[in-house]
Amino acid sequence: MSSSSTHHHTYSRKQKSLGLLCTKFLSLYNKGGVRFIGLDDAASRLGVERRRIYDIVNVLESVGVLARKAKNQYTWKGFSAIPAALEELKDEGLKDNPGSFDDSNDSAKVSDDEDEEETFPNVNIESQEDKANNLDSTTLVKSSKNENRREKSLALLTQNFVKLFVCSNIETISLDEAAKLLLGNSIIRTKVRRLYDIANVLSSMNLIEKTHTKNTRKPAFRWLGLRGRTWNESVDLAHNSNVKESRKRMFGTDITNISFKRNKVDLSIDGQSPKMQNQEENISPRAQPEIRKLKKDAKQTSKNYQFGPFAPNNVPTVVSSENNTAKPVHDWDSLAQVHRPQYQNQALKDLFSHYMEAWKSWNSEAAGKKSRKTK
DNA sequence: ATGTCCCGCCATACG
DNA sequence: CGTATGGCGGGACAT
């Protein structure tokens, strides 16, 4: 395989990005009727290696869009499952963070802040059977390993990343900051890299959007959440597909690449898949049957508790101010402004304390760079 | 130079 | 053992 290659430099990184791949994945399986998703099928259809599918699937599962069913098999839950998933992550996040032994404000900031400051991201693994375990050592060991494994999984990182937004009033955050907040056991650098992956797929779902910090400095991501979009099974996907991509180097004649592997195109599960999606991701549906202008959009600034877009259980009549063709109308922006960045609970305060500490130390450490890990 | 992040080696988990 | 998962990070591409 490999095929000589290295010839046509039509190669463009963007075309192979995880985000775009995720968008394709989504549009491919969001078209009604899909219930099961085989990883092999997805991989061959999207023309990528299995490895990439794992990345996507893991984060999608973290937000409820997919659910693992069995080996090589996932169940499509749809965007409508997102609200519940976020809700769950939310109180899960608020619930944990026991603080272990921190009743008073964090005192002193450890002289040597190596890397092990974790305090927030704690998978609340209920130990309801921490004592009465008839489990043989094997199980214990395995469990321990799984835990350790899981500890650094993309899925967990994703959940914690999301919790960051959903549990606080943080609206925008840079990946560096996020990585520091979500310190685990891995080096910051590695974590940031993973965060890029996560951010990309989350972006393709429009749960977040790339921007820059308030200081108009470093790039960062802004939480969009459910906004007012119709996260329902019907239609809607609205991947912001900008057509302003005529930024080619060599020559952009086509997007041809992707070597359709055509591995095993069985498609047994897919009962019907007409013409499926067109070639491009730019579907420009914008159908929007009737755009009831409604009122001026009495934004739900009222009291949705704290985060507007949390549909309790149903799907409110949508408000969706379509967008798509061009720059999405961010009037959520103003909505976001309404939210006062005030911490409403102790947990968040703590979180921010640590955040500040980490930030400062990291900042002072500055470009410590070159961790030169003894290999 | 710094920010992104693709690619795929290879350790693990699983069967 | 073979196969399925998915950490992890070198280093290429973007800005």
Shortest CA distance to A238 belongs to which of A176, A321, A310?
A: A321
CA to C1' distance (Å), from A73 to C3:
15
Residues contacting residue A74 through CB under 8 Å, at least 6 positions apart: A36, A37, A38, A39, A57, A61, A66, A67, A68
**A149: CB within 7 A of chain B nucleic strand:** yes
**A327: CB within 7 A of chain C nucleic strand:** no
In whole angstroms, what is the distance from residue A140 CA to residue A146 CA?
A: 10
Share of chain A above pLDDT 90, in %: 28
Give the residues across from A220 on adjacent strands.
A211
What is the structure's pLDDT at A138? 52
pLDDT, one tens digit per residue, over A99-131 is: 333 333 333 332 233 333 334 444 333 333 333
Q: What angle do CA A79, A41, A53 make, to 5 degrees?
A: 60
In whole angstroms, what is the distance from residue A351 CA to residue A97 CA?
A: 9
Residues 69-98 of A with CB under 7 A from strand B: 71
Strand order in the sheet with A172-173: A172-173, A219-223, A208-212
Shortest CA distance to A354 belongs to which of A117, A87, A39?
A: A117
pLDDT, one tens digit per residue, over A151-205 is: 889 999 999 999 989 888 888 898 988 988 887 667 888 999 999 999 999 999 9
CA to C1' distance (Å), from A268 to B10:
32
Mean per-residue pLDDT over chain A, rounded: 60
Residue nearest to nucleotide B13 (CA to C1'): A146
The structural domains of chain A, ordered by start, are: 7-77+257-277 (1.10.10.10), 80-125+135-241+292-366 (no CATH)
Question: What is the mean pLDDT of the segment spanning A10-32?
Answer: 89
Residue nearest to nucleotide B2 (CA to C1'): A218
Q: Quick one: residue A326, left, alpha or beta (phi over 0 = left, psi -120 to 50 = alpha)?
A: beta
CA to C1' distance (Å), from A248 to C14:
12
**What amino acid is encoded at A259 in this protein?**
S
CA to C1' distance (Å), from A197 to C9:
14
pLDDT, one tens digit per residue, over A204-227 is: 999 999 998 877 778 999 998 887
**A14: CB within 7 A of chain C nucleic strand:** yes
> Which bases of chain B are under 7 A from a protein CB atom?
2-9, 12-15
In whole angstroms, what is the distance from residue A175 CA to residue A194 CA?
A: 10
> Which nucleotide C1' is nearest A5 CA?
B7
Whether A58 and A158 have beta carbons less than 8 Å apart is answered as: yes
CA to C1' distance (Å), from A175 to C15:
17
Place of tokens 């791949």: A21
**A12: CB within 7 A of chain C nucleic strand:** yes
What is the structure's pLDDT at A351? 52
What is the structure's pLDDT at A104? 32
Report the C-alpha dihedral over residues A116, A118, A124, A126, rounded to 10 degrees.
Answer: 40
